[in-house]
Amino acid sequence: MNLHTLQNRPGAIRSKKRVGQGESSGHGKTSGRGHKGQYGRSGHKFKAVFEGGQMQLIRRIPKRGFVSSVKVVFTPVNLSQLQQFAAGAVVSPETMHDAGLASGKKARIKILGTGAIERALQVKAHAFSASAKSKIEAAGGSCEVVA
């Protein structure tokens, strides 16, 4: 068996139902819509939440809590990824972007404590985890929170 010899099993793919092609086609006259009613009319949309005019379930159940429309998303950067910078270097969000650690120029970066760091680096980021901050300072570096 090779990729170029693979085929569907017989009957796995049906041909498209061609409606409105005359009475002898089997799908003529009402074209599979039945007689009258809202589903037989043009313009009716089969919406997932529509319940025949009854108040929809999503509108009946109580809503609780608060959902903020402004969500702050951080790009995580581990300490092991900061090992590529030279000792004494200033590591800012721009230099992390240039090194391929952050996807956008405006990305908000959070330094996480996964891995070890042996070099003293001056790290500037939008947020630090407690373990990352302690490891950077233990290695002789400094942490600065960028606004």
Please report the pLDDT score of residue 141 as a whole number.
94
Please report the pLDDT score of residue 60 as a whole number.
95
Query: How big is the chain, counted in residues?
Result: 147
CA–CA distance from 114 to each of 53, 64, 86, 107 (Å)?
54, 36, 19, 20
Task: Report the chain's mean pLDDT, rounded to a whole number.
Answer: 91
Please report the pLDDT score of residue 67 as a whole number.
83
Per-residue pLDDT reduced to its tens digit, 17-68: 999 999 999 999 999 999 998 889 988 777 888 888 899 999 999 999 988 8
Highest CATH level, class, for 74-145: alpha beta
Please report the pLDDT score of residue 24 as a whole number.
92
The Cα–Cα gap between 89 and 78 comes to 17
Tell me phi and psi for residue 84, to 5 degrees.
-75, -15
Please report the pLDDT score of residue 103 as a whole number.
87
Tell me phi and psi for residue 3, to 5 degrees.
-60, -35
- Residue ranges, comma separated, of all CATH 3.100.10.10 domains in the chain are 74-145
Please report the pLDDT score of residue 38 as a whole number.
83
Rounded to an integer, the average pLDDT of 76-103 is 93
The Cα–Cα gap between 66 and 57 comes to 20
Higher pLDDT, 106 or 11: 11
Please report the pLDDT score of residue 22 as a whole number.
92
Gyration radius of the chain over CA positions: 30
Rounded to an integer, the average pLDDT of 121-142 is 95
Please report the pLDDT score of residue 27 as a whole number.
92
The Cα–Cα gap between 135 and 133 comes to 6
Intra-chain end-to-end CA distance of the chain, in Å:
60
